[in-house]
Amino acid sequence: MLPSATLPDWSWSDMDVAVPRPSVRLPGISMAGFRQRVPAYGKIAMVAHPSVTLLLDLSEGEGPVYDVHGRHQRGSVAVGLLPGELRAAGWSRVECLQIRLEPAVAAAALGATSELSGVVVPLEDLWGRAAGHAEERLRAAVSWDERFAIAAEVLARRLGDRPTADREVTYAWRRTLTSRGRVRVDGLADAVGWSRKRLWSRFRSQLGITPKRAARLVRFDHAAHLLAAGHAAADVAAEAGYVDQSHLHREVRAFTGLTPPAVAAAPWLAIDDVAWPGSVPTRLVGSR
């Protein structure tokens, strides 16, 4: 039996969450399965995250619809970094496999990371017929355990020996993550032995985002989860390294189109500690 949890009631659904066993996990890739237990309709804000996200629609009948600045996508999609104001809605019992890819891994698995920044595209546009074949296998699976194994197999096959990002770019990205976005581009360039200009160019061409923008995204992600954990905006601003609460407000608005209180209440964030255990900050440094 896979670990699962029932989330608190939302305004539009009840959701069960499943996570994979350690044996099927791949480096730079994380997965979670979602099943809406009651038919419902609603719309939730999807909060920007420092990963390229695949949302594989496994629903029977009408699945979710994704709204990006008034443009709609249905079915299985790839969500690039910095999608902006993104919302999901749908009728019926939605089932979805969500896969988060580190940008360097996504460059190999999708082959178009730099073209995905700021957009949501049908997975079929990236994988062709292979996207439909993967969906068919996943729908036919009898358990989430089997689905995770199939997804890992598909991704491992696509990765193969394909090159990911440069070692220096991968290092700079992971340093940005571990520092929670509080890192300077000059320092990253010095650490990898490149000029600032070269790091900026290679990072952007391979990951679809500049180093400075990546740091802002990672810092925002840290702040958003602290807000969702119930911490006051002023405390979160100080913890995440913003100049003041107004600076935090501007960054939250820039990444989501929402206010800090709206982000704190976003259902999309409320599921993270269940779907991605161990990866979600919930406490301020020094808090008990």
Which of 159, 193, 226 delimits the end of a domain?
159
Same domain for 138 and 25: yes
Whether 259 maps to a domain, the answer reads yes
CA angle 183, 208, 243 (to 5 degrees): 30
Amino acid (1-letter code) at residue 32: A
| Strand partners for 88 | 44, 66
Shared domain for 228 and 261, answered yes or no, is yes
Extract the runs of DSSP E, i.e. beta strands, from 80-224: 86-89, 95-101, 120-122
154 with 219, same domain: the answer is no
Q: Does residue 105 have a pLDDT over 60?
A: yes
Is the pLDDT at 85 greater than 70? The verdict is: no
CATH number of the domain where residue 221 is located:
1.10.10.60
Write down the pLDDT at residue 8.
37
Can you tell me the distance from the alpha carbon of 228 to that of 272, in angstroms, rounded to the nearest whole number?
10
What's the pLDDT at 40?
A: 53
- Are 23 and 107 found together in one domain? yes
DSSP-derived 3-state class of residue 207:
helix
According to the model, what pLDDT value does residue 286 have? 53
Residue 54 CB-half CA count within 13 A: 30
How many domains is the chain partitioned into structurally? 2
Q: Are residues 148 and 181 in the same domain?
A: no
Residue 150 and residue 211 in one domain: no
User: pLDDT class for 61, splitting at 50, 70, 90?
Assistant: low
153 and 187 within one domain: no
What CATH code is carried by the domain that includes residue 39?
2.60.120
Query: Which pLDDT belongs to residue 4?
Result: 36
* Alpha-carbon gap, residue 4 to 252, rounded angstroms: 30
pLDDT at 217 exceeding the cut of 60: yes
Output the CA angle 12-40-262, nearest 5 degrees. 20
Contact predicate 88/68, CB 8 Å: no
Question: With 70 as the cut, is the pLDDT of residue 181 above it?
Answer: yes
Q: Chain-centre distance of CA 285, in angstroms?
A: 24
3-state secondary structure at position 178: helix
Average pLDDT rounded to a whole number, residues 154-182? 89
Whether residues 41 and 153 fall in one domain: yes
Strands 95-101 and 52-57: antiparallel
Q: Is residue 287 part of a domain?
A: no
- Which tokens in the block code for residue 190? 């010095």
**What residue numbers bound the domain in which 42 lies?**
4-159
Select from 141, 159, 177 the last residue of a domain.
159
Residues 22 and 128 in one domain: yes
55 and 32 housed in the same domain = yes
